[in-house]
Structures are given as structure tokens and as C-alpha cells.
Chain A
């Protein structure tokens, strides 16, 4: 039955895959990167530029400044105090993370509007990833939090760029096909690969790309298996806690070896979940604030 459906939907997934990648390369239908990014890239490459100068450039763009400060202040980075200037955000998050936030802010805006459940899921996973990264001492936990934020970027891209395929995916899921296979059948590619593909187009750090690409398939990862495992585990825990909403009605498939890769036992999982709870509580206020703004 499922096979018949597959054929009627998509006679040749590999052809479709090519078509999808072509669209992604052209970024059809996606908001363009803010022009400030190009300027920033030049400045970052130029060793004579000081961080102060970079902060000044960003601050000139009021819209971007507002977006960055809002993200920096949301609970998933977990700063105890308010971040009120770009310079502070830069000190706390690092230039790398700041750049990623600028580049992806238009995408986030889209998620707020179209799929608040996916947004909540993403910030929940960001918060959880950060807690795990700190727990196991997996360097630059802000960067890992940002990987968490972006882990389902591919889902957003499907909603924006591949709109006409979205209903076919949802149909398959409602028939009982698991979401990842449904995406592969319809598109010839799944959301993890789509997200990573786009992140590579944007020249984001390899560590983030590999983590996102492998978050549903840990064996795929090479250099950054820990990072991929963090996203995998966070994704599961946030679903299990029932925070936000994705295509998985219940739980995503879980690879228990993620725990082995991270060196975590049940005692630590318990600690992680107990630390996550107050973060999720705070994030709820953040989402409500966004919702209010969108409806006003």
C-alpha cells in the first residue's frame, strides 16, 4: 500500500532530489541575507578591525540590533543578566555566534509567524543542547546552543521554499509513515540534509553543519559526533517533555548510543532534565511576548 502511494507521489526521488538542491542553491523564495553580512565578513577578515568597530557597524542597523539583543536575552543562552548592548552580546556569545544570529534572523522571523510550535521546539533544543554541552565540557557551548536553534532549519526551508511538497509529506505522515522517511520519499532528501546543505551555502562553521546533518543519524557524523549526539539527545528530551510541536506526534527515534558517545548515565540525564525545566519555564514567556507582538 505504502509503495503504491510512493510511486504515485514521486516516481523518481533522485530526480526530485536534484531539483530540490537546485532550488536551494538559488535560494528561491527565501529571504535574502541582510547586506550587513557582507560588510561584516570583510571586517572580520581584516585583522586591523577591532571588535568595537564591528559592534558599531551592527548597532547602526536598528532592526538587526533589536533582533540580536532579543535572541541574546532569551533564556536559551541562559545569561543571568540582561544583555543590553551589541558589544556585550559579542563578548558573551562570541563573534561567530553573533554572525550566525544575524544571518539567520530572517529565518527565525519566519518560524515565529508560520510555526510557533516548531519555534518553541527549536529554542527548547537550543537550551537543552547548551546544558548538555556544559555538562560534558564540549567546548563553546554557545555555538552548540546555536546549532540546537538551527537543527530543524531544513523543516523551515521545506515550509518556505518547497511549499507545494509539504502537503504530500503531511499526508504520508498521517498514513503512519515516519516523518523522516516521508520527507525522503517526497523530496529525495530529508530536513537534516536540507538544513546542513543551506548552512554550508552560508559558510557556517563545519561543526554546526555536521551536527545538524547528523542529528537523526549519528553514524553519519565523523569529526563532530559529540555535537550530533547532543542535538539528537536534546531533540528527544524536548519532545519527551512535550515542549513545542513538530511533525513527531510522540517521540522521534532514539539512538541510545548517543549516551555512550557523550559519556552520560541516567543520573546525569536526570540532572539535565531538572536543569532544563526552569529554562523552559522562562522561554515560555519569551514565546508569549513574540506571539503578542505578531498579533498586534
Chain B
């Protein structure tokens, strides 16, 4: 799954979850293939993001789990304060979970 702003949506992408309007009403169900018309309607109704199936868009700023982990190590290089190390552990957990979710759901 990939969460994308409207400007990144293309007809043919499939919704991964429901899309809601400003009043919280469902505009579009799960697993629906987007059309030009629907995307236009999302704009009109003030939707900002839609989560779609798979990872159809390659975002140039996105890093791999390995890159994320090695950068995390670098930021915490030489740190031995136990509180900071606690934060590092939480971030590691967050990264593993984030990337695990990606593999499962894409």
C-alpha cells in the first residue's frame, strides 16, 4: 500500500482502503480502480490523500530499511546516554515495523 497526495494519483490505481469526504462519508470503497472522474471528484471534495494498493510510485526520497538503519546508527554514533539509547531502540522498532508492513501489504 502507498499513501499518495491527489496529484500523484493515476487512473487504474486501486484503493487500498476507503476514501472519505469532508463529512466523513465514504466516497469510494476498498479495492476500487480509480478513474479520471473519481480523482477529479476527490479534488472537489477536499480529499488530500488516498491510500492505494502496492507501491505504484517510486518516491526519490524514500530509503531502504538498510539505509535507514545505517543512518540511524550514524546519528547515534558515540552516544551512550541510556535515555538516548532508549529512543534509538524505539526508532529501530518503528523502522522494522514500517518496512515489515510494506512487504506484507504491497
Contact = CB atoms under 8 A, between A and B. Distances in A.
**A and B associate in one complex:** yes
Interface of A: 73, 80-82, 84, 236-237, 239-242, 250-251, 254, 256, 259, 266, 269-270, 273-274, 277-278, 281-282, 284-285, 288
3 closest residue pairs by CB, A with B: A82-B46, A81-B22, A256-B83
A82 B7 CA distance: 14
Contact of B94 (A84, A266, A274, A285): A274
A241 B22 CA distance: 31
B104 interface: no
22 contacts: A73-B48, A81-B22, A82-B46, A236-B87, A240-B76, A240-B87, A241-B91, A242-B72, A242-B75, A250-B75, A250-B77, A250-B79, A251-B79, A269-B87, A270-B94, A273-B90, A278-B3, A282-B5, A282-B49, A284-B61, A285-B5, A288-B61
Nearest to A270: B90
Interface of B: 3, 5, 8, 22, 46-49, 59, 61, 68, 71-72, 74-79, 81, 83-84, 86-88, 90-91, 93-94, 98
Contacts of B76: 240, 250-251
Contacts of A285: 5, 8
B24 to A, nearest CB: 9
A84 B84 contact: no
A237 B87 contact: yes
A242 B49 contact: no
B3 A281 contact: yes
B44 to A, nearest CB: 10
Given A81-B48, A251-B84, A240 B75 contact: yes
Contacts of B49: 282
A44 B48 CA distance: 32
B88 to A, nearest CB: 7
Nearest to A284: B61
Contacts of B74: 250
A256 B87 CA distance: 11
Contacts of B87: 236-237, 240, 269, 273
Contacts of B47: 81-82
Contact of B48 (A82, A270, A278, A281): A82
Contact of A251 (B22, B71, B75): B75
A283 to B, nearest CB: 11
A199 B76 CA distance: 33
Contacts of B48: 73, 80-82
Given A251-B84, A266-B86, A288-B61, A277 B98 contact: yes
A157 B93 CA distance: 37
A254 B79 CA distance: 11
Given A82-B48, A269-B90, A274-B94, A254 B75 contact: no
A239 B83 contact: no
Residue among B46, B68, B76, B81 with the highest chain A CB neighbour number at 10 A: B46
Given A250-B76, A273-B94, A81 B46 contact: yes
A273 B94 CA distance: 8
B83 A254 contact: yes
